[in-house]
Structure 1
Amino acid sequence: METLDWVVVGGYFFVMVAIGYWSRGRIKNIADFFTAGGKMPWWLSGISHHMSGYSAVMFVAFAAEAYRLGLTVYIWWALTIGVGVGIGAFLWAGTWNRLRSKHGVKSPLEYLARRYNVPTQQIMAWAGAALKVVDIAAKWVAVSLLLQGFAGVPIWLGITIVGAVTMVYSVLGGLWADALTDFGQFVIQGAAGIAMFVAVAAHFGGIDFMWKIWDQLPESHSEPLSGNYTLIFFMALFLIKTLEYNGGMWNLAQRYMAAPSGAAAKRSALLSSALWLVWPLVLFFPMWAAPLIVPGMEANAEQAYVEMGKLMLPAGMIGLVLAGFFSHTMAMVSSDANVISAVITRDMLPRLWKGVKRLSEPAQLQLARITTFAFIGLSMTIALTADTKGFVLKVVIALVAATMGPIAIPLMLGMLPWFKKVGPTAATASVVGGLGTWAVLYVLQQNKVEFVTQAVIVSWPLLVSLVLYLLIGLVIKPEPSAERSALVDSLRSDSDEEKVPTRA
């Protein structure tokens, strides 16, 4: 990297911290910190939702899969998310918003104590928080690998620098800082992504490289599903991503909660869906062309995108691309940190320390900032002590994707009117059964048991969790409740006539 590249990266970090300080002035209470007080414009909410789904993982693990296998990574990743978020615009986006506007909910898990019961809520809160801290650790490793590849910065130093900057603006500015930096990162990502796309097009002599490269690549690279990514894997991941990106990944639920109304939240989801279907293509085409530009990297494909950038981009532009990598990771991490802080502050700590509920508004806000700081610090510690080789893809697929279904099913299906009779027994069994299945499969996978393929470890926990939820909740032990039914019914419309009083 040249001096101009470092100036660009340094300027980016400065702007992120400045946004955090500016956003601090907009944070008056706990509702502002976690849900932006319901005042976020729908277009900003939609862009923030879209950006919060990215991280440097895309340019490390997913870029490696695009290098090795081609088209399939768009099909099972971006396409499943884009279609899933489009479906969720009609099923969940407005529902999340009404939980805030009608029931004063500030954490995505807060409603679970009423929808099921406190033990169910606590199981999901603790399991999800543990999952998220490891997930974020993988993202620190991903961005530090990119920084090492571009600039030779040691991995530990990369994690420390990016983590510290993220910590500052997340702790100070809450969800407003997240959304505003998401927007800035959207602009940076656009410039960086287009720069790489144009450089690759120029390398091949024109835009027609988009369809000509497939004749020069192995035939399997143009197959929608290849390698370990089978039809069963695709079907399981489609359901997982539909649940995950519509609120099962808690931070994305916050984007809908922050919009002014349910109708605005729906528009946010539709915007995010459109971006997911189109923009990843711009980012993936250079990755698909990479084997023709930097051949022979199959054994070290995680560095393929880095090598392309160093080969094809001029001084200054490399810094912009690297800032784009930072932007992806910092957007997702700050978003996750904010929602985990909400879950800890609103759902977990009050069950361990009754005094939390008696804290003043300023004290609650201070507690939220402390938990945000602690979460980011813990994730950085895990990243600094992890074995980085293969760590990113292993966490993203074998841990996050495989356990997201059991954690998300009771949360997401519990908001839909078709499952009003499903009660806490089914919800608890669903989470415990799904996570237990994953734990057994994971141990078997580590012991090289042959039948535990990638498709099995992703699909079986999801299937077990879904079957338990439906079978127990609708057939074996339905638990209808007038209060639960009223809660679910109140989420169907923005009308105040359906509002149910919030329990004190």
Structure 2
Amino acid sequence: MNSLDWAVVIGYFGIMVAIGLWSHKRVDNVSDFFTAGGKMPWWLSGISHHMSGYSAVMFTAYAAIAYDYGITSYVTWSFPIAIGVALGSKLFAPRLNRVRSKLRVASPLEYLKSRYNLSTQQALAWSGVLLKIVDVGAKWAAIATLLSFFTGVSLNQGILITGAVTAVYCTVGGLWADALTELGQFVIQLVAGVAMLIAVLHDLSGISTLWNVWDDLPATHHHPTVDKYTLTFLLAYLFIKTFEYNGGMWNQAQRYMATDSAGSAERSARLSALLWFFWPLVLFFPMWVAPLVIDIPKGHTSADSYALMAEHLMPHGLLGLIIVGFFSHTMAMCSSDANAIAAVVTRDIMPAVSRRVRAWDTRAGLIAARWTTLLFLGLSMAIATQVNSSFFGDIITVVIKWVAGLMGPIAIPLMLGLLRPFRKSGPTAALVSWGLGLFAFYLVNYPINDSIDGGVNLEYQVSIPLAVSLVLYIVIGYIKPEDTPERDAILDSLNSDDDGPGSASAALSVPKQGATDRSSVAGALD
């Protein structure tokens, strides 16, 4: 990097901070901070949903998969996410919007106390927060790895720099700042991604490279599934990502909740799905052909391939823009996760722990939301320094095995609890499916994995916990149905735009989300 590249990077950081400070004017209460007051345009929500879905892990861990195996990096990652989000545009997006508009809540988990009970809400909240600290820690480690490659700063310094800038804008401006910075980051990534694609095509044989290059690449580059990324893994990932990217890990749920109507939330999801179908193809193509552009030097791995290619092909200035593109994805995902976790902690966990919290006014609630965001970012940055330890493994292990494997048990009660066909599944089904799903993850990844030569295949490590949770949630619901008139009223409200006298929102008479609404719909049912 030279002074021009540094100017681009520093200018980017400055713009992100400025957007955060401007967004501060739009935040008057916790509803504004966590759900943009339900005023976010559908197109902004869709872009934000897409941008908050991936990070610099794509340019390190997934770049390694693309370099080593080719198109399987798209087929077993972005493609199932696109399918899952498209399915969720009908199944989940409208219902999550109604969670905010009808039940007047500011956190994706607030409705769980009335849908199930307090114990279920707390179990999902605590386990999800702990998982997200590790997940976001992996994201910080990924971007710090890239920053270290280009600038020479240490991993810990890189984590501190990116985390500090993110902390400024997302704690000041809340979800509005997240969405607006993600819009800016999308534009930057669009320019940087297209620039890299053009540079790669120019370095090879021009536009004809798109269809002529495949015979020159290793045979495995043509296969949609290869090695440990099998068809079983693809199907498991499709199920996992359908739950995760439609709100199972909370930050994407906020994007649907932030729109003004269920219809807008559905359009938002469709836009995000289209972006997931097409945009990663632009980003992945340079990674697929990277073996023809560069050789991995001694001391580096295929995880460095995208960075090495950028250094080889891009002139100064554009190199800085590519680096900014790395930052943009990571900061988008980490800031959105921080906002979602702060919502869960301040709206779901803290009110259950302390009666004083339930009496907070607007100012106290907003201050708590900001401090909680800072605390989460600090903890995830501390975890990032340990991501490559023997306990957590490397970055791709954390992202694929830990997050994908543990997400299912946490997300299934939340997501399926929105749907009428699962109305009989109550607190017992939710808690048992959650607990035994987590236990299945432990068994498959540790005692069983250690006792088998070569270990358990990756597809089983990530799919078995989800399968256990899914089956138990459904079966227990039929063996021990726990549907009640109150729970049915909640589901009727979330499954219809009707807001007449018989709807759940009308029956519960829940006050509008505002200064003193600490108990929300759960308090109304109590």
TM-score higher than 0.5 = yes
Check the 8 A contact 1:63/1:304 in 2, yes or no.
yes
Asked if 1:483 corresponds to 2:483, the answer is no
- The residue number in structure 2 matching 1:359 is 360
Report the 3-state secondary structure (helix = DSSP H, G, I; strand = E; otherwise coil) of the residue aligned with 2:421.
helix
Counterpart in the other structure of 1:375: 376
Aligned length, in residue pairs: 503
Q: CA deviation at 1:221?
A: 1.0
Once the two structures are TM-superposed, the CA of residue 494 in structure 1 deviates from its matched residue by 2.4
CA–CA separation in structure 1 for the residues paired with 2:4 and 2:481:
64
- The equivalent of 2:460 in structure 1 is 456
1:134-173 matched pairs, under 5 angstroms? 134-173=134-173
Q: Is the 8 A contact 1:407 1:431 kept in 2?
A: yes
Deviation at 1:280, TM superposition (A): 0.3
Residue 421 (str. 1) matches residue 424 (str. 2)? yes
Task: Identify the residue that residue 33 of structure 1 maps to in structure 2.
Answer: 33
Q: Aligned pair in 2 of structure 1 residues 436, 308: CA closer, same or farther (>3 Å)?
A: same
Q: Which whole-Å CA distance do the structure 1 matches of 2:296 and 2:118 have between them?
A: 54
Q: Distance in 1 between matches of 2:255 and 2:336?
A: 9
Measure how far apart 1:296 and its partner are. 4.3
Match of 1:264 in 2: 264
Match of 1:466 in 2: 470
Alignment of 1:243-262 (within 5 A): 243-262=243-262
Q: Which residue of 2 is the match for residue 435 of structure 1?
A: 438
User: In the alignment, is residue 344 of structure 1 matched against residue 345 of structure 2?
Assistant: yes
Amino acid at match of 2:193: G
Is this contact kept in 1: 2:387–2:395, CA < 8 A?
A: no
Contact 1:262 1:493 in 2 (8 A): no
The CA deviation at 1:445 is 6.7
Amino acid at match of 2:489: A
How far does residue 388 in structure 1 lie from its aligned partner after superposition?
A: 6.5
Find the counterpart in structure 2 of residue 99 from structure 1.
99
User: Identity over the aligned pairs, expressed in percent?
Assistant: 54
Task: Measure how far apart 1:2 and its partner are.
Answer: 1.1
Distance 2:124 2:297 in 1: 41
Contact 2:197 2:285 in 1 (8 A): yes
- 8 Å contact from structure 2 (residues 410, 434) kept in 1: yes
C-alpha distance in structure 2 between counterparts of 1:136 and 1:229, whole Å? 23
The amino acid across from 2:499 in the alignment is D
1:494 aligns with 497
Report whether the alignment pairs 1:398 with 2:401.
yes
- 1:237-316 equivalence runs, <5 A: 237-296=237-296, 300-316=301-317
1:78 is paired with a residue whose SS is helix
Counterpart position of 1:132? 132
Aligned equivalents of 1:422, 1:55: Cα separation in 2: 35
- CA–CA distance in structure 2, aligned partners of residues 386 and 74 of structure 1: 25
CA distance in 1, matches of 2:357, 2:425: 31
Amino acid in the other structure paired with 1:358: A
**Cα deviation code 1:126-155 (max 9, x no counterpart):** 110000000000000000111111222211
Structure 1 residue 302, shift from structure 2 partner: 0.8
Separation of aligned partners in 1, 2:294 and 2:403: 31
The residue type paired with residue 489 of structure 1 is D
Match of 1:2 in 2: 2
Partner Cα distance (2:386, 2:52) in 1: 25
Once the two structures are superposed, what CA deviation does each residue of 1:450-475 show, in whole Å capped at 9, x if it has no partner?
3511111011101111111111112x
Which stretch shows the higher mean deviation, 194-203 or 296-305? 296-305
Q: How far has the Cα of 1:478 moved from its partner? A: 1.3
Give the residue type in structure 2 aligned to 1:309. Answer: A
Q: Distance in 2 between matches of 1:212 and 1:352?
A: 62
Say which SS state the counterpart of residue 26 (structure 2) adopts.
coil
Change (3 A) 1:167 1:448: farther
SS at match of 2:495: coil
Deviation at 1:493, TM superposition (A): 2.4
Structure 1's 7 and 446: CA in aligned 2 closer, same or farther, altered over 3 A? farther
Structure 1's unaligned 5+ residue stretches are: none
Q: Distance in 2 between matches of 1:106 and 1:177?
A: 16
Alignment deviations for residues 268-306 of structure 1 (CA, whole Å, 9 cap, x no partner): 000000010000000000000111111346970111101
**Cα separation, 1, equivalents of 2:6 and 2:140:** 20
Counterpart CA distance in 2 for 1:215 and 1:484 is 58
TM-score normalised by structure 2 residue count: 0.94
**Contact 1:167–1:373 (CA<8 Å) still a contact in 2?**
yes
Deviations 1:41-72 (A, max 9, x none): 00000000010001000001000000011111
1:419-445 residue CA offsets vs partner (Å, 9 max, x unmatched): 111111011011001101101222237
Contact 2:42 2:265 in 1 (8 A): yes
Instruction: State the Cα distance separating 1:104 from its structure 2 match.
Output: 0.5
SS in 2 for 1:107: coil
User: Any unmatched runs of 5+ in structure 2?
Assistant: 511-520
Deviation at 1:220, TM superposition (A): 1.2
Q: 1:79-124, CA deviations, whole angstroms, 9 ceiling, x for partnerless residues?
A: 0011110110011111011110111011001111111111011111
Query: Do 1:261 and 1:494's aligned partners in 2 also have CA atoms closer than 8 Å?
Result: no
* Corresponding residue for residue 79 of structure 1: 79
What SS does the corresponding residue of 2:292 show, helix, strand or coil? helix
Per-residue CA deviation, residues 187-222 of structure 1 (Å, 9 max, x unaligned), is 000001001000001011212212222111111111
Equivalent residues of 1:141, 1:388 under 8 A apart: no
- The C-alpha deviation readout for 1:472-501, integer Å capped at 9, x for no partner, is 112x21112111111011112223223422
Q: TM-score, normalised by structure 1?
A: 0.98
Q: Within 2, Cα distance between the matches of 1:257 and 1:207?
A: 42
Q: Deviations over 1:398-434 (max 9, x none)?
A: 1001111111111100101111111110110110011
Classify 1:386/1:80 alpha carbon distance in 2 versus 1 (closer, same or farther; 3 Å): closer
Q: What RMSD over aligned residues (CA atoms) do the two structures have, in Å? A: 1.3
Cα distance 1:444–1:44, how it changes in 2: closer, same or farther (>3 A)?
same
Give the conservation status (yes or no) of the 8 Å contact 2:131–2:403: yes
Indicate if the aligned counterparts of 1:444 and 1:452 stay in contact, CA closer than 8 A. Answer: no
**What does residue range 224-235 of structure 1 map to in structure 2 within 5 Å?**
224-235=224-235
Q: Deviation of residue 354 (structure 1)?
A: 1.2
Shift in alpha-carbon separation, 1:93–1:190, aligned structure 2, 3 A: same
Q: Aligned residue for 2:11?
A: 11
Task: Give the match's secondary structure for 1:208.
Answer: helix
